[in-house]
Amino acid sequence: MRNQPMVSADQTTDTVLKMLLTMRLIRDFEEAAGKALQDGHVRGSVHQYTGQEAIATGVCHHLHQHDFVSSHHRGHGHAIAKGVSVAKMMRELFGRQGGTSNGKGGSMHIADFSLGMLGANGVVPDGVTIAVGAAQALKMQGRPGVVVAFFGDGAMNRGPLFEAFNWAKLFDLPVLFVCEDNGYSVTLQTRSVTAGPPAIERVQAFGIPTMSINGNNVQTVEKAAGELIERVRAGSGPCFLHATTYRWYGHLAHDKGLYRNPAEVAQARKDDCLLHAENWLQSQGVSAHHLSQLRDESLAQVAAAVTEALDSPWPDPASAFTDVQDLGNSA
């Protein structure tokens, strides 16, 4: 197991600014999605990624369009970081035409194969097995590219995850496993339902190289993910990134998270990945005015997405059976 890398001097201001904008877009999207749910515009559930933005952002910073990501129930941040349009995503949440699946998938089925976003996934941890299948396909077809599988710490206690690790290592597939360890599985502290030594040792038992980092610092994530993705791209087989973080809100937008100690939540909010990036940028001479312009741009983009979603038509009932399955023509 490796310790987390030091932040390097070659992380230029422009890189961090770009990542800050992505993190900000994710945060503003999640605020708007939570509000839209409370306002009755969104049916079903919304699992906000708020607080965890640095992980999706720092990892996807290293991906090309022909690389793939698979996600879980808390998937909006991965989609945004992979380049999916927030306007299309918001229409999808609102169930409208012009959404990523023309409104028929909703929050937990956001996918855009043309951008390598294989989908959010409501079944823990089935996004991971899909990712391994995609990595196997890449290898068999001799195509370039890597696959990143994002999943939560709760998934580390599910059997299919270990089948995925075994298969990926057996065939040395080009996949990076990213465990977003926010400490909770729904209302439970994950450690209270986890036997034995730290779960990362289970991954090491497969011979998969691992790295553990602070997932609330986007520069740390970017550096670590860069190293691991480079190894995966070079063909040395799967790697595993364990990133600690915290989800600011409850499990779902309806859940107030009252099972958590308020002091713990307050502490996590101080350890804000956006704030860390902004502080670093200011230390490099970026003005507060510039940062506030970025905030305004992101808010305006998300507000426009909400307005467009509200103005978009509902899907035609005659199209009920389209957009629910991809037969592989768009990948």
Ligand X SMILES: Cc1ncc(C[n+]2csc(CCOP(=O)(O)OP(=O)(O)O)c2C)c(N)n1
Residues 44-73 that bind ligand X (CB under 6 A): 73
- Kindly tell me which residue out of 94, 184, 240, 248 binds ligand X, with binding defined by CB under 6 A: 184
Question: Smallest distance from the beta carbon of 331 to ligand X, in angstroms?
Answer: 25
Instruction: Check binding of 123 to ligand X (CB under 6 A).
Output: yes
- Kindly tell me which residue out of 61, 82, 242, 251 binds ligand X, with binding defined by CB under 6 A: 251
Using the CB atoms, write b or e for 25-37: b if 16+ within 10 Å.
bbbbbbebbbebb
**Size of residue set near ligand X by CB under 6 A:** 15
Q: Quote the CA–CA distance of 298 and 313 in Å, as a whole number.
A: 25
- Kindly tell me which residue out of 11, 22, 182, 219 binds ligand X, with binding defined by CB under 6 A: 182
Instruction: Check binding of 179 to Mg ion (CB under 5 A).
Output: no
101 binds, among ligand X, Mg ion, none (CB under 5 to 8 A by kind): none
Q: To which residue do tokens 């999943």 refer?
A: 151
**Cβ count within 10 A of residue 39:** 9
Instruction: Check binding of 153 to ligand X (CB under 6 A).
Output: yes
Residues 145-164 that bind Mg ion (CB under 5 A): 152-154
Helix axes 273-283, 218-233, angle to 10 degrees: 100
Using the CB atoms, write b or e for 82-95: b if 16+ within 10 Å.
bebbbbbbbbbbbb
What single string gives the DSSP state of each residue in 219-242?
HHHHHHHHHHHHHHHTT---EEEE
Question: Smallest distance from the beta carbon of 102 to ligand X, in angstroms?
Answer: 24
Rounded (10°) CA dihedral 158, 226, 130, 23: 80
- Kindly tell me which residue out of 110, 148, 155, 274 binds ligand X, with binding defined by CB under 6 A: 155
Q: Quote the CA–CA distance of 25 and 77 in Å, as a whole number.
A: 9
Instruction: Check binding of 154 to ligand X (CB under 6 A).
Output: yes
Stretch that binds ligand X, among 27-35, 75-83, 120-128, 141-149 (CB under 6 A): 120-128
**Cβ count within 10 A of residue 160:** 15
Instruction: Check binding of 51 to Mg ion (CB under 5 A).
Output: no
> Half-sphere exposure of residue 166, counting CA atoms within 13 Å on the CB side?
5
Question: Smallest distance from the beta carbon of 282 to Mg ion, in angstroms?
Answer: 31
Question: Smallest distance from the beta carbon of 259 to Mg ion, in angstroms?
Answer: 13
By the criterion CB under 6 A, which residues form the site for ligand X? 73-74, 122-124, 152-155, 182, 184-186, 190, 251
By the criterion CB under 5 A, which residues form the site for Mg ion? 152-154, 182, 184
